[in-house]
Structure 1
Amino acid sequence: MRLPDFEAWAIFACVAEQRSFSAAAEAIGLSKGTVSKAITRLEASLGTSLFHRTSRRLSLTDSGQALAERAQRMVAEARAAEEHARDAASNPSGTVRIAAPITFGIRFVAPAIADLIALHPGLEIDLRLSDARVDIVADGFDIALRVAELPDSSLRARRLAPVTVRVVAAPAYLARAGTPTHPAHLADHACFGYANAIGTWHFSHRSGEEAAVRPQGPLVTDNGDAMLPALRAGLGIARLPDFIVDEEIASGRLVEVLADWRSASIALHLLTPPGTLRPARVEATIAFLADRFRQICAVESKRAA
């Protein structure tokens, strides 16, 4: 199927209005030659002349006169569509489906959503909290927030901020079981596991040494907050992101161990389905959340320093 030459139609509408190739070229910011070629191209496509050309004046032929109004309507419709799109971008409306981890979602996403709705009352947010890794495309989500080291995928991912992971335990546990000074020592300790990332814990030391251990222990759960009661009770060691444990460390209920060792780096990512075109409501939500969480993570990083 051959598509209409919309550029040529728009140029024709302008020339018909201006009654001058030069004036039309100036009005739309093109060269006179480009305008002339577009009209010639359109005439060849239509098989008819649109203008009577003389050295002194330019006038529409009967065919041109009949088509000029239609061309101007096409341009008007295109301008209306652009204005509607711009209005939608500044006043987005409709439903946006978001998936987020439970703890991060409750502490940070939910307050951000409240501010987002206040800013854009036309939005309707469907927020689902789960520490399970959702299938964004199959489950119909527009946006997913993940605190993780992402594997390669076809999804579009934007890294918003790094997230520090800390190895922590209660003072009572360390007094009873001893304080590990090397990651290898964790093999002799009761370690809590994260169900969605069970496997080897990797560490690197500032000296360049690297270490890996596959810890085991009495508790496996798919939510970091669920480890806190057992941690406070002195039942083991856990590796958790700073936004879960920083307050516990500040209060003295938990202490960080292996502080000289850096755990495998993770980050907060914003994921969207593949593709380049997104509705204005989704673009507005992405822009708001990206800016909010970059600020939040920057503040959290300063607190942790």
Structure 2
Amino acid sequence: MNQFEDMRIFAQVMESGSFTAAADQLGLSKQFISRRLMQLEERLGVRLLNRSTRRLDVTPLGQAYYESALRLVAEVEQAEQSIAGQNAQPRGTIRLSAPLSFAMAHLGCLLPLFLQRYPEVSVELDLSDRSVDLLGEGYDLALRIGLLEDSTLIARRLALIDRVYCCSPDYLASRSAPQAPEELKDHDCLPYGHSRQVQWRFERNGKPLTINLCGRMRANNGDLLRDAAVAGLGITYLPLFIVGEQLKDGRLVRVLDEYRTEPLVLSAVYPQHRQSSRPVQALIEFLKEHLIELG
């Protein structure tokens, strides 16, 4: 058993959350894995995990070792796949994070097509609107909407996402439609996000305009805000892939259309050590092919 195998075992324990689950994944005994990790800690002279009867807690040094081990294991696997043949079909597991509403609208139909095209690839999908830590949490790829933070991650543009301001006809029956962004202070709004103070950004004569607003209902899920708008609770600002159907059948109507900003960018984001991963790159190209324009 060499140092690389120790890294692989430790990475699997971190991903599985327990010795027992890691043993099942690797086809080894729990006792063997426990012994190997104890010997690894002795060789390094540090504690990687704090063990208790109920859980494993990683130490700061253990977390740093895990992130390094994850990169090295991935690089070895990719090197082997490359040597095995560039013309071979992509194979392996992709750990993917995606926003909930977007995944429900698009990935439910696209991922089965992708898996049919690449029968040796599997996908583990986590749906969350939070920005996951790809390296720290072991993700291979994340889909993100909007501006990206500066980081060492690689980003590929997949599509544009158009957004609209909208509300129900019933809401407008009791309130006159806003003619300018400043009039939103006299309206009930349904903002996306957690903070008490939310800003909506507009464009007027080619210049940006920011309006501070508060709403009786805030949420970090567009589907909930859409349903609240349909129920007549106020004006919301959401992507077309969430409200498109309701706009077509008249349950929602657009407002302030002439002040809309540029579409958001949908990006695929991945760590540098996944740049040569054939399954990851295959999925990115597949999504780019099918998501040319969402707005």
Task: Note whether the superposition's TM-score is higher than 0.5.
Answer: yes
Shift of 1:229: 2.1
Residue 85 of structure 2 aligns with which residue? Answer: 85
Shift of 1:181: 0.9
SS where residue 106 of structure 1 aligns?
Answer: helix
Shift of 1:85: 3.0
The answer (yes or no) to whether the contact 1:132–1:196 under 8 Å persists in 2 is: no
Shift of 1:263: 2.7
SS where residue 142 of structure 2 aligns?
Answer: strand
The answer (yes or no) to whether the contact 1:184–1:211 under 8 Å persists in 2 is: no
The superposition leaves residues 222-281 of structure 1 with CA deviations (integer Å, 9 ceiling, x where unpaired) of 110011221111111100011111111111100010011123541111111134743222
Residue 209 of structure 2 aligns with which residue? Answer: 211
The answer for unaligned runs of 5 or more in structure 1 is: 1-79
Instruction: Supply the AA of the counterpart residue of 1:280.
Output: R
The answer (yes or no) to whether the contact 2:165–2:254 under 8 Å persists in 1 is: yes
Residue 103 of structure 1 aligns with which residue? Answer: 101
SS where residue 194 of structure 1 aligns?
Answer: coil
Residue 279 of structure 1 aligns with which residue? Answer: 277
The answer for unaligned runs of 5 or more in structure 2 is: 1-79
Shift of 1:119: 0.8
Does structure 1 residue 244 correspond to structure 2 residue 255?
Answer: no
Residue 191 of structure 1 aligns with which residue? Answer: 189
SS where residue 96 of structure 1 aligns?
Answer: strand
Q: Say what the alpha-carbon RMSD is for the aligned residues.
A: 2.0
Q: With structure 1 as the length reference, what TM-score do the two structures score?
A: 0.66
Does structure 1 residue 129 correspond to structure 2 residue 127?
Answer: yes
Percent identity of the aligned residues?
A: 33
SS where residue 202 of structure 2 aligns?
Answer: strand
Structure 1 counterpart of 2:175, from 174, 177, 183? 177
Q: With structure 2 as the length reference, what TM-score do the two structures score?
A: 0.68
SS where residue 220 of structure 1 aligns?
Answer: coil
Q: In 1, Cα distance between the equivalents of 2:147 and 2:194?
A: 12
Q: In 2, Cα distance between the equivalents of 1:146 and 1:81?
A: 28
Instruction: Supply the AA of the counterpart residue of 2:133.
Output: D
Q: In 2, Cα distance between the equivalents of 1:151 and 1:174?
A: 38
Shift of 1:196: 5.5
Q: In 2, Cα distance between the equivalents of 1:210 and 1:282?
A: 37
SS where residue 108 of structure 2 aligns?
Answer: helix
Task: Kindly name which structure, 1 or 2, has the bigger radius of gyration based on alpha carbons.
Answer: 1
Residue 114 of structure 1 aligns with which residue? Answer: 112
Q: In 2, Cα distance between the equivalents of 1:83 and 1:255?
A: 56
Q: In 2, Cα distance between the equivalents of 1:283 and 1:127?
A: 16
The answer (yes or no) to whether the contact 2:97–2:127 under 8 Å persists in 1 is: yes
